[in-house]
Amino acid sequence: MIEAIKLGKKFKDVEAVKDASFTVKKGEIVGLLGENGAGKTTTLRMLATMLRPTSGTALINGHSIIENPREVRREIGILFGGEVGLYDRLTARENIEYFAKLNSMNDHDMKASIEELVFKFNMEEYIDRKVGKFSRGMKQKVAISRSIVHRPSIMLYDEPTAGLDVTATKIVNDFILECRQQNKAIIFSSHSMQEVEKLCDRIIIIHKGSIIDSGTIEYFKEKYQSDNMEDLFIRLVGDK
């Protein structure tokens, strides 16, 4: 479970995130919806212990991101979109192993987990090839595998389908839905309304660092009397 309590981050004079409070339960996908620069990535980075909050805190399965960052990191899997940050000169297996080892997995569990992932994502053909020449889709599969090799119970997705073609996007989206079936707590950041509508159980709309509203898709449609999430979003952030 993720519990953000008045989470805030200031970069000099700029307040990137202000008093963000929300919860994400097990088996739930919560969409973090906002324009570029709204504070989505900063929020996720704080939850992932990559950034230290300037105010507030968050609990990841009961572990504080400030006091127990190491424990928190073991609980979470992170997947970013765009450049996925794999090491081109390492093979797919070496990339996945590297992150498994960083998460203190023992050799036996790591090998078993990697074999499962290779089978699951049909990576048999290229698991021992260097990542540098992979297609975006292949890289994304490796990135997904890397993010879950240590079997985290919480997943943070930051625009994971950015720049991907239809097939690769489907792989990622199917995987996110599968994570929900596995009872993981999931935060999914995006600026694509269709994706959010399709995947998320609840939505948090963030604008200029502040949460302006949150609830289910039905809640938004009813409250703002609109069936079109895109129009609704523009109306919401436009008003602010």
Partner 1 sequence: MNIISIVYKKELIDIFRDKKTLVAAILIPFLIYPLIFGFMGKGIKDTTDFIEEEGGVKIALIDDDNSEIGNILKSRSNIDIKDSDNIADDVKSGKILLGIEIPQGFQEKIANEEETNITITYDNTSQKSSMALSFIKELLDEYSKGIVAHRLEARDMDATILTPIDTITKSPDRDDTGVGKLMLSLILPMMLVIFAASGPIASAVDLCA
Shortest separation between residue 42's beta carbon and partner 1, angstroms: 17
Tokens of 164: 């991907």
Q: Does residue 234 touch partner 1 according to CB under 8 A?
A: no
We find the least distance from the C-beta atom of residue 46 to partner 1, in angstroms, to be: 17
Sequence letter at residue 142: V
Rounded least distance, CB 239 to partner 1, Å: 39
94 binds partner 1 (CB under 8 A): yes
The size of the interface with partner 1 (CB under 8 A), counted in residues, is 8
Instruction: Supply 25's token pair.
Output: 């339960």
The string over 178-187, giving b where at least 16 C-beta atoms fall within 10 Å of a residue's C-beta and e elsewhere, is ebbeeebbbb
Q: Least distance from C-beta 100 to partner 1, angstroms?
A: 10
Interface characters, 111-150, with partner 1 (x: CB under 8 A): -------------------x--------------------
Reported as type and span, the H/E element at residue 78 is strand 76-80
Question: Residue 20 CB, nearest distance to partner 1 (Å)?
Answer: 25
Crossing angle between the packed helical segments 166-181 and 136-148, to the nearest 10 degrees: 20
- Phi and psi for 163 in degrees, rounded to 5? 80, 5
Does the protein bind partner 1 through residue 224 (CB under 8 A)?
no
Binding of partner 1 at residue 90 (CB under 8 A)? yes
- Per the listing, tokens 């990576």 go with 123
User: Shortest gap between Cβ of 85 and partner 1 (angstroms)?
Assistant: 11
By CB under 8 A, is residue 213 in contact with partner 1? no
| Other Cβ atoms closer than 10 A to 190 | 23
CA 216 from chain centre, in angstroms, equals: 19
Q: Which is nearer to partner 1, 51 or 172 (CB)?
A: 51
Distance of closest approach, residue 128 Cβ to partner 1, in angstroms? 14
Query: Near partner 1 by CB under 8 A, which window of 1-9, 36-44, 87-95, 194-202?
Result: 87-95
CA 171-174-180 angle, to 5 degrees, is 140
User: What are phi and psi for residue 25, nearest 5 degrees?
Assistant: -90, 170
Nearer to partner 1, 87 or 219 (CB): 87
Select from 1, 74, 98, 109 the one that contacts partner 1 (CB under 8 A): 98
| CA neighbor of 92 nearest in space, from 46, 154, 139, 30 | 139
Binding residues for partner 1, per CB under 8 A?
87, 89-90, 94, 98, 101-102, 130
